[in-house]
Structure 1
Amino acid sequence: MSGSRSRSPHSYVSDAAVCSSGRIAGFHRYWQALCRDGLLPSRTAIEPDDLKPLLPNILIMDVEPAPLRVRYRLVGTAIAETSRRDITGRYLEELRFDHPRERAALEAGYRLMLESRAPVFGRVLWRALSDLELTYESAIFPLAGDGRSIDKAIGVEDYLDVDPREVLERVPTRPV
């Protein structure tokens, strides 16, 4: 895996084609069906019962657009276990990152979502250990309580080449 150390973190784009995840594609269709008359869906429009198989892979965020602040209200169990940290209740600016540009990449993704008023998609390479790289796909979908002003977002993460047992056995719990 030479050269991996120099890879920059992911970036988010508006093109859903960067993700091959069936979970992300399925949630994208669900989210699109909730968009009506040019309005974004609200958090209350999303029915947890509709998403039972996805719940471990979902994040719900409060989004304050100016200045940008993101607070992670809910973090699914698969996300917390695989990332080896639970960021529930934390703001993005409070989090420690493995790569110096990772926070900037996430902030740029949230800004693109706010500007485009549309979902953003990314493919992430996470170097969990010097000899363990994990790939996952991620998408962030805007939500608006009034249909217009984005105040929340819902994210979906899908771990493509991750063996959860190996992560639990080898990767120590990470600081928030």
Structure 2
Amino acid sequence: MGQSFQDPIAALSAYWSSLNEGRVPERAMVELSAIPSLLPLLLLTAFEQDPFRVRYRLTGTRVDEWNGMNLAGLYLDELNDEGDHGAIAKLMASYRQCHDSAAPVIDRYDWPARSGGFLTVRYGLFPLASNGMVCQCLGIEDYSALPRLYDGVPLSR
């Protein structure tokens, strides 16, 4: 794969599809070194059952910058903030859809901006399997349409 991507979600989709002819690839098939320019935007999550939860295992540097912290080790539902206007619930539903359908989910959520209004974040979720069972997800968030960080602080918080 090339090193420069106009659309990081499309690039990750193409990579994911190439791993197992469009079927859900095993986690062991993913070689992050094959997609170095996407690394800052990636999220590797694990699915847990009873109740269904999403735990962040690895997050890229841009993801951490936009969230103001490293999300690794945290659960998505722990990030629930009354001021998120449904973004966390939408992400949780998308992860659930990705898990249950064993198919990619590409969507967007709106995050409240400090200045009022909303910032729209595009994302893609791509299921990964272990022994044929969907148990993880390789996700990506595209911040290219958002304002730049100001002094390392996201404008969206």
Q: Residue 164 of structure 1 aligns to a residue in which SS?
A: coil
Residue 149, structure 1, aligned to residue 138, structure 2: no
Unaligned runs of 5+ in 1: 1-20
Q: Distance in 2 between matches of 1:158 and 1:170?
A: 14
Please, what TM-score do these two structures have when normalized by structure 2?
A: 0.83
Q: Residue 71 of structure 1 aligns to a residue in which SS?
A: strand
Indicate how the Cα distance of structure 1 residues 92 and 170 shifts in structure 2: closer, same or farther if over 3 A, else same.
Answer: closer
Please, what TM-score do these two structures have when normalized by structure 1?
A: 0.75
Q: Distance in 2 between matches of 1:110 and 1:167?
A: 31
Contact 1:60 1:74 in 2 (8 A): yes
Q: Residue 85 of structure 1 aligns to a residue in which SS?
A: coil
Q: In the alignment, which of 55, 68, 74 is matched to residue 90 of structure 1?
A: 74
CA drift at 1:83:
2.5
Q: Distance in 2 between matches of 1:82 and 1:25?
A: 21
Equivalent pairs, count: 151
Higher relative contact order (CA 8 A, sep 6+): 1
Q: Residue 87 of structure 1 aligns to a residue in which SS?
A: coil
Contact 2:47 2:53 in 1 (8 A): yes
- Give the letter for the 2:9 counterpart: I
Residue 166, structure 1, aligned to residue 132, structure 2: no
Structure 1, 51-60 or 74-83: larger mean CA deviation: 74-83
Unaligned runs of 5+ in 2: 1-5
CA drift at 1:114:
1.8
Contact 1:84 1:171 in 2 (8 A): no
Q: Residue 15 of structure 2 aligns to a residue in which SS?
A: helix
Q: Distance in 2 between matches of 1:78 and 1:62?
A: 20
Q: Distance in 1 between matches of 2:75 and 2:19?
A: 27
Residue 127, structure 1, aligned to residue 112, structure 2: yes
CA offsets 1:80-125 (integer angstroms, 9 cap, x no match): 1022232111012222333252332122111211222100011222
Q: Residue 144 of structure 1 aligns to a residue in which SS?
A: strand
Q: Distance in 1 between matches of 2:106 and 2:23?
A: 20
Equivalent residue runs for 1:20-169 within 5 Å: 22-36=7-21, 39-97=23-81, 98-131=83-116, 133-146=118-131, 148-166=132-150, 168=152
Q: Distance in 1 between matches of 2:59 and 2:10?
A: 20
Contact 1:113 1:140 in 2 (8 A): yes
CA drift at 1:31:
0.5
Indicate how the Cα distance of structure 1 residues 169 and 90 shifts in structure 2: closer, same or farther if over 3 A, else same.
Answer: closer
Identical amino acids, percent of aligned pairs: 35
2:3 aligned partner: none
Structure 1, 137-146 or 66-75: larger mean CA deviation: 66-75
